[in-house]
């Protein structure tokens, strides 16, 4: 089984050290258990040092989530060595089926505490303009990564000529919907059938189809 390395495992700056501690607190205690004190207890930095870098817990969580999600997407889509089709299949399998073809389970990549944080922030964005700005920025980053992948595929001939921005947007909608439904329902087995329908689109999008 392929091992998916933990993020910020070897922090090189104070900010990365804070992010590492935040990740561990989320993993062990979930969103409701996050506090600046609990984060500080995980590292050699004081609470005052954390507040020097971030205004409050929510500012820390917003920046942490953006950095972590970018870290995950880069490794799932851009850094694992496959072509565009391989990368898309990898991400769709993970979210729809709960595991990549090379054996990386959903829970190893998306820790429940982290996903709960993302969902909580998205819910708050309905009424909170600051959170809405964060969510919009993060969504744009993800769509941009998918667009970059598709553009590379068009260039190397593995993706058909298409509007990469539009295709990335559609794939993002599929992934976000599947992620939400996987996390909020007790039975996710039916998503396997939905994955088959997503594959119809991916086959049309890639030159292998």
Between 79 and 63, name the one with better pLDDT.
63
Give the tokens for residue 32: 């409701």
- CATH code for the domain defined by 58-205: 1.10.357.10
pLDDT at 1: 44
Cα–Cα distance for residue pair 172/166, rounded to 1 Å: 10
The proportion of the chain whose per-residue pLDDT surpasses 90, expressed as a percent, equals: 37
pTM for this structure?
A: 0.80
Strand partners for 41: none
Q: Please state the rounded mean pLDDT for residues 39-66.
A: 90
Read off the pLDDT of residues 129-174 as tens digits, 9 standing for 90 and up: 888 888 898 899 889 989 998 999 999 898 999 999 999 999 999 9
């Amino acid at each position: 089984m392929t091992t998916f390395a933990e993020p910020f495992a070897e922090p090189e700056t104070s900010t990365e050290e804070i992010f590492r501690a935040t990740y561990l607190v989320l993993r062990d205690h979930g969103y409701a258990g996050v506090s600046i004190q609990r984060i500080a207890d995980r590292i050699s930095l004081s609470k005052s040092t954390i507040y020097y870098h971030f205004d409050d817990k929510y500012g820390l969580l917003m920046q942490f989530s953006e950095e972590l999600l970018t870290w995950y997407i880069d490794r799932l889509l851009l850094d694992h060595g496959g072509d565009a089709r391989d990368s898309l299949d990898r991400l769709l399998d993970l979210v729809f089926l709960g595991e990549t073809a090379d054996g990386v389970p959903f829970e190893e990549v998306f820790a429940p505490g982290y996903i709960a944080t993302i969902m909580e922030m998205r819910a708050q964005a309905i009424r909170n303009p600051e959170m809405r700005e964060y969510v919009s920025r993060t969504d744009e980053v993800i769509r941009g990564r998918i667009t970059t992948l598709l553009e590379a595929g068009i260039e190397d001939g593995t993706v058909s000529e298409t509007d990469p921005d539009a295709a990335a947007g559609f794939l993002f909608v599929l992934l976000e919907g599947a992620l939400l439904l996987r996390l909020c329902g007790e039975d996710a087995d039916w998503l396997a059938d939905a994955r088959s329908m997503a594959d119809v689109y991916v086959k049309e999008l890639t030159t292998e189809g």
